[in-house]
Amino acid sequence: MKPTEIVQLEGYSERLMKRFYFSIAMFLTIAVTVTPIGTRALEVFTFHMIQHITLLMVVGSLLVLATTQKVRDQLNSNSLFRLFSSPWISFTLYAAMMIGVHLPAVHLFIMHNSWAHYWVEVPLYLIVPYLFYFNILESNLTNRRLSTAMSVIMLWLMMVPETLTGFFIYISHESAYEYMYEINDQRLGGTIMWSGGMIIDVAWIMLAVYHWWKSEELKNV
């Protein structure tokens, strides 16, 4: 096979994978927004948490993986996007939202006002993770804004607010939200965020470690 044919084949494979990531992201978004999981997320804490971790920790990341280099270049040329996607600003926004939406006063306001959930919370569950993972899961191993090693470290750091929020909800022996949910429902939701979040985090950490390993290989070539 000629070198040009190999390059074309690799380019086709990459485009195919990006379409696959985008399709899965759209499927999951629909699955947790227009199905009973989404329509009852204001009533059942378990459903709320399934929607929460799916959009916040899976869909946002898949959309980053689905982003083409052309779109990346266009986004990076936007000064506002570069500001909010900068590693530590996006990290702070992500952690603050992760914790903030589960503070009793904030959570109760959102659950009692459906517009806040559908038109503020859910869109933020897509936008903020995209900003956070934009540099961390970048497939380009050279000329990165954030080094591959630092990407791994930031993902480990993000496990702290993600898992602790779910853990404290789980161990609570009383309702954290003025008995809006049954205590077993609340504990199951906390378990999903705590354990489910850790499993998803490990998957993205493994990908980041792979990028780190490949980047070290390039240095030795």
Residue among 153, 54, 134, 121 at smallest CA distance from 89: 134
What is the helix (H) or strand (E) element at residue 8, kind and residue range? Answer: helix 3-31
**pLDDT value of position 205:** 94
3-class SS of residue 205 = helix
pLDDT tens for 37-70 read 999 999 999 999 999 999 999 999 999 999 998 9
Residue that is written with structure tokens 């161990």 in the block: 171
The Cα–Cα gap between 204 and 129 comes to 13
Percent of the chain with pLDDT over 70: 94
> Tens digits of per-residue pLDDT, 11-37?
667 889 999 999 999 999 999 999 999
Q: What is the pLDDT of residues 191-209, one digit of tens each?
A: 999 899 899 999 999 999 9
Residue 7 has pLDDT above 50, yes or no: no
Query: Is residue 2 predicted with pLDDT exceeding 70?
Result: no
* 214's tokens: 């490949």
pLDDT exceeding 90 applies to what percent of the chain? 63
**Cα 214–219–221 angle (5° rounding)?**
95
pLDDT at position 12, please?
61
E strands present in 42-185 = none
CA distance to 19, 39, 51, 126, 167, per residue, from 196 (Å): 26, 21, 12, 18, 11
Classify burial at 194, counting beta carbons within 10 Å of its beta carbon; exposed 0-12, middle 13-18, buried 19 or more: buried
**What is the value of pTM for the model shown?**
0.90
Q: What is the arithmetic mean of pLDDT over 169-184?
A: 84
